[in-house]
Homo-oligomer: A and B are copies of this chain.
Amino acid sequence: MTATSRTNPSHRGRPTMLGQNQYGKAENRVVKITRDGDTHHIKDLNVSVALSGDMEDVHYSGSNANVLPTDTTKNTVYAFAKKYGIESAEQFGIHLARHFVDSQEPIHRARIRIEEYAWERIENSDSGSQFIGADEVKHSFVRQGQETRTAQITYDGERWEVFSGLKDLTVMNSTNSEFWGYVKDRYTTLKEAYDRILATEVTGVWRHNWTSDEDRMPNWERSYEQSRKHMLDAFAETYSLSLQQTLYQMGARVINSRSEIDEIRFSLPNKHHFLVDLEPFGMENETADGAVYFAADRPYGLIEATILRDGAEALIPVDLTNL
């Protein structure tokens, strides 16, 4: 992810050389059902594999002698879902990354990216349902549709790097947000605001400080659930003078509350809700009375920052979109 070029010093006489490269099968959609008697559980993932290593030949001459086919990496995803089950996205990625690096000599590094889609049970609402009597339906689900959970697991044979995250989580405060006291230059026309809507679609990625098989692994499911809760709490509770301030509070709350996390980065579009000018129609539109807003698409403010535990190294890339 960092732009470390892999030079090819022995490749003399050529005016070009190969830099960072990786390959694998992307977006393997795997669903695993677990049956616990009549009660079923779902794990629904989208898994992307990226492998790096001794890959000069395949680029220079087309020799595939070091290339495990992307099709094989796909097969491995499905076989491992059966072999190990899917305890969590992170744990599943760890199984896969370890396998590729440990079993293939030319592969020095594996990066597994995962999206997870959450499902919730359809609750049986009628106690006296004619169809199933007193029995509960335990195999019926509706997709939650809120955020997509993300994970990225990287392994080089020695050190683990685990990112967790989420995207597409849209949140709004309908008050307790202001924006004023900013720089005014000759191109500034914006009016200051003392009671505005603050809405954003959260993309966040956080880095766990677990890096070694020697250390105790975090509880990935609980860590995710708690991190998400702290973010939402901080968003709701911060009286905001800028989206940057809210962002920092969200990140600091996670770092302060979760000792397993050392770094977090957010990309927060400012989903503008503009007060509509109803004066031409002889109407007022005051926020205090409950106002009408135009929800704009583009352009949008985009606020991005990393928050770190003091002394921690910054390892999350600046551009989050792909994760």
Shortest Cβ gap from A71 to chain B (Å): 4
Q: Is A132 close to B, CB under 8 A?
A: yes
State the number of copies, please: 4
B residues near A280, Cβ cutoff 8 Å: 75, 189
Distance A79 CA – B63 CA, assembled complex (angstroms): 35
Q: Is A157 an interface residue (CB 8 A)?
A: no
Contact with B along A14-45 (1 / 0, CB 8 A): 11111111111111111111110000101010
Asked whether, in the complex, the Cβ of B55 is within 8 Å of the Cβ of A23, the reply is no
Q: Is the CB of A35 within 8 A of B289?
A: yes
Q: Kindly identify which residue among B29, B55, B186, B292 contacts A244, using a CB–CB cutoff of 8 Å.
A: B55
Select from chain B the residue with minimum beta-carbon distance to A131: B237
Are A301 and B70 in contact, with the CB atoms below 8 A?
A: yes
Q: How far is the CA of A86 from the CA of B129 in the complex (A)?
A: 35
Contact A313 B17, beta carbon cutoff 8 Å: no
Task: Let me know if B182 and A170 touch, CB within 8 A.
Answer: no
Contact B232–A81 (Cβ < 8 Å): no
- Expressed in whole angstroms, the minimum distance between the Cβ of A111 and any Cβ of chain B is 10
Please provide the chain A residues from 107 to 164 with a CB less than 8 Å away from any CB of chain B in the complex.
Answer: 119, 122, 124-126, 129, 131-132, 137, 139-147
Contact of A140 among B67, B125, B236, B283 (CB under 8 A): B236
Q: How far is the CA of A200 from the CA of B127 in the complex (A)?
A: 25
In chain A, positions 155-202 with a C-beta closer than 8 Å to chain B are 168-176, 179-190, 197
A292 to chain B, nearest CB (A): 4
Q: Number of contact residues on A: which range applies? A: 35 or more
Partner of A183, one of B16, B68, B283: B68
State whether B124 touches A19 (Cβ < 8 A).
no
Q: Is the CB of A307 within 8 A of B183?
A: no
A314 touches B19 (CB 8 A): yes
Contact of A306 with B19 at beta-carbon distance under 8 Å, contacts A79-B278, A180-B64 already known: yes
Whether the Cβ atoms of A189 and B318 lie closer than 8 Å is: no
Residue contact A187 to B301, C-beta cutoff 8 Å: no
Residues of B contacting A175 with CB < 8 Å?
40, 139
Specify which chain B residues have a CB less than 8 angstroms from the CB of A145 in the assembled complex.
Answer: 144-147, 168, 170
Known: A19-B307, A241-B62. A104 touches B25 (CB 8 A): no
A301 to B183, CA, bound (A): 37
A-B contact pairs, 30 of them (CB 8 A): A2-B318, A3-B316, A5-B313, A16-B251, A16-B255, A16-B308, A20-B305, A21-B304, A28-B298, A29-B294, A33-B197, A42-B174, A55-B244, A64-B179, A64-B183, A68-B182, A69-B188, A72-B185, A75-B188, A79-B278, A79-B283, A83-B283, A104-B183, A122-B171, A122-B236, A132-B237, A142-B171, A143-B171, A145-B168, A317-B318
Apart from A19-B308, A23-B303, 15 more pairs, CB < 8 Å: A15-B255, A17-B310, A23-B304, A31-B294, A32-B290, A35-B290, A60-B245, A64-B183, A69-B190, A143-B146, A143-B172, A144-B145, A145-B145, A189-B280, A322-B322
